[in-house]
Structure 1
Amino acid sequence: MPARRFDAERVLLTRRTAGRKQSDVAVGVGVSPARVSAWETGRSVPDPEKLPRLAEILGHHVDELFPREGPPDLADLRVDAGYSQADTKKLTKTKSAGPVAAAENGQRRLAEEYHVPLAEAYGVSVEALLRAQERSFGIDVPEPGMTEAPQAAGDGLPETLAEKITYLLVQMPAPLSDAEVAALGNSRTGVEVLSEDLVRDLRSGVVASTSDEVLRALAEALDTTPLIWSADADVQRIIAETMLLRGQVAALAARGGGQQGLSAELLQFILREVDKARADVQGGGPTAGS
């Protein structure tokens, strides 16, 4: 089950941007204000079936605020429709949630009589329900028309500030508005240097350059290093190669790791090599030709 990505800081900023109180969100989702506070501070995360309603209250589609990588399985369809597993016995008109639980766990496929009521309750076609069921059994069934995402060019990063900002926004796991970029950058640096208008002007190229303080806040908001704004060709080459490597590692994890991701041994190797490279740079590094 490819779980949805929950970002506590983004939920907090989104709620504030929407002008909603924690108590408003709590009433809409059906929990206590203390529970909403726990979500926003990262002390806990919502049950998966609460995410669609939470996104709706905050004025976003669930796929935008809480993105998921990969097509859904049966459990994903259920939680996206706002149902707990226990709720499904009402949908199948059985004494327990056993039929749905068994299918979600890849143990026994749904009886045909359950196809239509579950598809209607989940808001999908029977065909989509059956594709999701196959994924619950470990069979990779693509959605119709699904193609692989285009890979980033390996010959370097975009050159202008506007192009780099746009490039980084495309790489983000969830879309960010100009206002959200500004709020994130200010929050993470603790300095109010970004505004929605400034981010928009920088992204669109109306403003072609800015202060180091603004660039630092932008880098924080976009989960990158301030070095990405450098005009040095060697720095840009290293950053581009690092981003390409990150994409390759992510693809490797998605292909072979399943729920477990990269093995501990492979992850340890990657981290060790990164630490060695960092030590080389900080210590002057091996000289060319040595």
Structure 2
Amino acid sequence: MPRQFDGRRVRAVRRGKDLHQKELAEMVGVSAPSVARWESGQDFPKGEKLPAIAAALDQPLDVLFPHDGPVDLQLLRCDAGLSVAEAAAIIGASRAPVSNAESGRRRLSDAYVQPLAQAYGVTEQELLDAQNCSFGLRSSASRDRQSSAPRTVGEKINYLLEYGYVGQEAPSEEEIARLVNEHAGMTAVTADGIAALRAGDTTEASDVVRAGLAHAFQVDMPLFQDDAQVDPKVREFMESLRFLASIHRGQILGLAARGNSQGLSAEMMAHINQLVGELKHKLPEAHGGE
């Protein structure tokens, strides 16, 4: 699945909308037990179901289900709400051309580019850029987007939740609000307030809330300060999280294996191990036991 899925967040949003699991299931086109398994973490929806879930919960897709990295073919297809079989039917072919292109094995025939671009709701160039990404290549625009650091309080919360808790359970909006309020010694923010920051509905946060967020995520206070230019130390910390998360998820090793049948060289492995050793101390204290 190309996007991040948090069943606890889906459950919280669903309850906030006063929807029962059966009602959400009917809106998405699945069974109520399927929704129950998603929310409990026992199972995950198919990627092409995420747009329908977000629409049913009246949430922006990128906020409810953020994605890591630039756009590839699988993300385009899933965001269009199409399965591999449905995409294949659009181009009048078997599943093989779609699957092979998404997995970086064989590029799409020129005849397939225009109909797929139209079905995915993108330009032909955007589809070709996504195909390059599926083959491990990135356009300069994608690299620029990838390298940009989060600036607003909400963007930083989302970033820390996405990259700071790989391999362990991230705190919910309710838990974040509780930790902030405990640190403040008062009710400084609600779970809805955290959700509004994450969604970009508001960018305002008091110094008390910012200090509480730093406490909740166990990071230095400057990370949650407004900044026209991202502080170099803050940016280094953010990139450290992204780098270690990518290693944990196998993205770096997976890309290397796909591009080189012999995998990573001993020199490259040594370099990565050195970087991990240098960067690991920058992670929040909560990760020290991993």
Q: Judge same fold: TM > 0.5, yes or no.
A: yes
| Distance apart, 1:251 and its partner CA | 4.2
Q: Select the residue among 240, 262, 273 that pairs with 1:266.
A: 273
Map 1:9-24 → 2, pairs under 5 A: 9-24=8-23
Q: Select the residue among 122, 125, 134 that pairs with 1:124.
A: 122
Map 1:1-290 → 2, pairs under 5 A: 3-94=2-93, 96-143=94-141, 146-147=144-145, 149-151=147-149, 168-173=153-158, 183-185=174-176, 194-195=189-190, 204=204, 209=208, 224-225=217-218, 244-251=236-243, 257=252, 259=254, 266=273, 270=277, 274=281
Amino acid at match of 1:170: E
Structure 1 or 2: more helix by fraction? 2
C-alpha distance in 2 between matches for 1:108 and 1:228: 46
Gap runs ≥5 in structure 2: 162-170, 197-202, 223-231, 257-267, 286-290
**3-state SS of 2:217 partner:** coil
Amino acid at match of 1:266: N
Contact 1:169–1:175 (8 Å) recurs in 2: no
| Distance apart, 1:224 and its partner CA | 0.6
Identity over aligned pairs, percent? 30
TM-score, with structure 2 as normaliser = 0.64
Gap runs ≥5 in structure 1: 153-165, 231-239, 279-290
Deviation by residue 1:83-118 (Cα, 9 ceiling, x = unmatched): 111222311112x21121222222222112111111
**3-state SS of 1:172 partner:** helix
C-alpha distance in 1 between matches for 2:66 and 2:155: 14
C-alpha distance in 1 between matches for 2:19 and 2:176: 21
- State the structure with more CA Rg: 1
C-alpha distance in 2 between matches for 1:209 and 1:107: 51
Contact 1:64–1:174 (8 Å) recurs in 2: no
Count of equivalent residues: 240
| Aligned Cα root-mean-square deviation (Å) | 4.5
C-alpha distance in 2 between matches for 1:92 and 1:112: 11
Deviation by residue 1:101-146 (Cα, 9 ceiling, x = unmatched): 2222222221121111111111111111111111122212244794
Q: 1:60 and 1:8, CA in 2 relative to 1: closer, same or farther beyond 3 A? A: same
